[in-house]
Amino acid sequence: MANQVRLSKFLALVLRHQAEKFNLILDEQGFTDTDAVWALVDKRYPGQYIHADLLAVVAGDQDGKKRYEIQGHKIRALFGHSAVRPISYPPAEPPELLYHGTTLPSLPGIRREGLRAQKRQYVHLAINIFRAQKVAERHPGQIVILTIRAGDAYRAGIVFYHPEPEHFLAESIPADYIDFPE
């Protein structure tokens, strides 16, 4: 079986961070030609992947996280770009509660300023505690799961987006809508 994690990381490099290094042009929404990306994969890893591997990575990982999408003959990373303007998504009404995994040392800043995108384009909010836990495990330190009163925030005018099944996005979440652990 092909190493899909390695392929996904290569796609992140190409579609999120260093498109220009690979002579790819991303449009305003982060899309580029799928055949051009496939040619880069085949050049970098000759004979190690078939086109079905690319489609499997685009479909999502074993935890259901979807990082890429193909529309027609174009491919893009769904979020996390450093090379294009913020990707826009249609607004979506969130469920009443969403979750965000973070670490204990981050809590004082979040209590003061709420959740902000920091170096990302959006704050990522999970639809369940399990998903928030998985995301938080990528960071060292004691993990804390925050409950976001997304329904209240939405009714107060916070705009949410829903680009893939496991996550909602927002530009920021004020601390007033975050339930912190004791």
Residues 63 and 108 in one domain: no
Alpha-carbon distance of 94 to 150, in angstroms, equals 6
Q: For residue 117, what are the contacts with CB-CB under 8 A and spacing of at least 6?
A: 123, 171, 172
Residues 175 and 115 in one domain: yes
The residue type of 147 is: T
pLDDT score of 83: 54
Alpha-carbon distance of 41 to 52, in angstroms, equals 12
- Could you list the residue range(s) of the whole structural domain that residue 120 is in? 98-179
CATH (domain of 155): 3.20.170.30
CATH (domain of 16): 1.10.10.970
Are 38 and 49 in contact by the 8 Å Cβ rule? The answer is no
| pLDDT tens, N- to C-terminus, the chain (182 residues) | 578 888 988 998 888 888 888 888 888 778 898 999 999 998 999 989 998 898 888 887 666 677 888 889 999 888 655 555 566 778 999 999 999 999 999 999 999 999 998 777 789 899 999 989 988 887 788 999 999 999 999 999 999 999 888 889 999 999 999 999 87
Residues 28 and 66 in one domain: yes
Residues 54 and 126 in one domain: no
pLDDT score of 89: 78
pTM of the entire predicted model = 0.62
Judge whether 87 lies within some domain: no
Judge whether 88 lies within some domain: no
Alpha-carbon distance of 32 to 9, in angstroms, equals 17
Are 132 and 124 in contact by the 8 Å Cβ rule? The answer is no
Residues 55-71: tens digit of each pLDDT = 888 887 666 677 888 88
Q: How many domains does the chain have?
A: 2
Report how far Cα 101 is from the mean position of its chain's Cα atoms.
14
Element spanning 116, H or E: strand 115-116
pLDDT score of 138: 78
pLDDT score of 136: 83
Are 87 and 79 in contact by the 8 Å Cβ rule? The answer is yes
